[in-house]
């Protein structure tokens, strides 16, 4: 398995990284963790708990384009070193993203998001350019 393909697996796992603090925030809310209506409860959270829910949702949003970009570069046999570098950049950005999001550091959060998004775009461009 190539580094880029392995990064898809890591990116998938990173989707669930903010779920633990989100669950803690839900458990600390009045009435405790609501397993019957968890999305309603998540929508009513405030502060870092609400930001954890948003970071978790954003992980899902970023995963599909990233996976598609890696697979595009892989299928067309784009430069494996550049593909690996871009995939690693994306994964590192996605590891940092929920931390700064939950901490409420909005400028850094946006910067890290742009870096991860840029790496995904770079993978697509690399794949398109390799034809």
pLDDT in tens, 98-108: 999 999 999 99
| Average predicted confidence (pLDDT) for the chain | 96
pLDDT at 129: 85
Confidence band for 130, pLDDT divided at 50, 70 and 90: confident
* First-to-final CA distance of the chain: 22
Taking the domains of the chain in order of start, what are their residue ranges?
3-129
Residue showing tokens 């909005």: 106
Average pLDDT over residues 64-78: 97
- The overall pTM is greater than 0.85: yes
pLDDT tens digit sequence for 3-56: 999 999 999 999 999 999 999 999 999 999 999 999 999 999 999 999 999 999
CATH topology of domain 3-129: 1.20.120
Angstrom distance (rounded) from CA 81 to CA 87: 10
For residue 51, how many other CB atoms are within 10 A of its CB?
23
Angstrom distance (rounded) from CA 41 to CA 89: 33
- How deeply is 3 buried, as exposed, middle or buried, from its count of CB atoms within 10 A (0-12, 13-18, 19+)? middle
pLDDT at 95: 98
Average pLDDT over residues 62-81: 97
For residue 31, how many other CB atoms are within 10 A of its CB?
8
Structural contact between residues 71 and 9, judged by C-beta atoms closer than 8 angstroms: no
pLDDT at 86: 98
Angstrom distance (rounded) from CA 44 to CA 73: 41
């Amino acid at each position: 398995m190539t580094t880029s393909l392995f990064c898809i697996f890591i990116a998938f796992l990173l989707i669930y990284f903010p779920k633990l603090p989100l669950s803690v925030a839900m458990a600390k809310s009045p009435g405790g963790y609501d397993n019957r209506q968890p999305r309603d409860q998540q929508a009513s959270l405030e502060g870092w708990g609400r930001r954890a829910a948003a970071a978790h949702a954003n992980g899902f949003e970023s995963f599909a384009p990233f996976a598609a970009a890696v697979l595009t570069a892989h299928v067309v046999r784009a430069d494996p070193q550049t593909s690996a570098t871009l995939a690693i950049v994306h994964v590192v950005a996605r590891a940092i993203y929920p931390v700064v999001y939950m901490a409420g550091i909005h400028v850094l959060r946006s910067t890290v998001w742009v870096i991860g998004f840029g790496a995904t775009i770079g993978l697509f461009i690399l794949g398109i350019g390799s034809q």
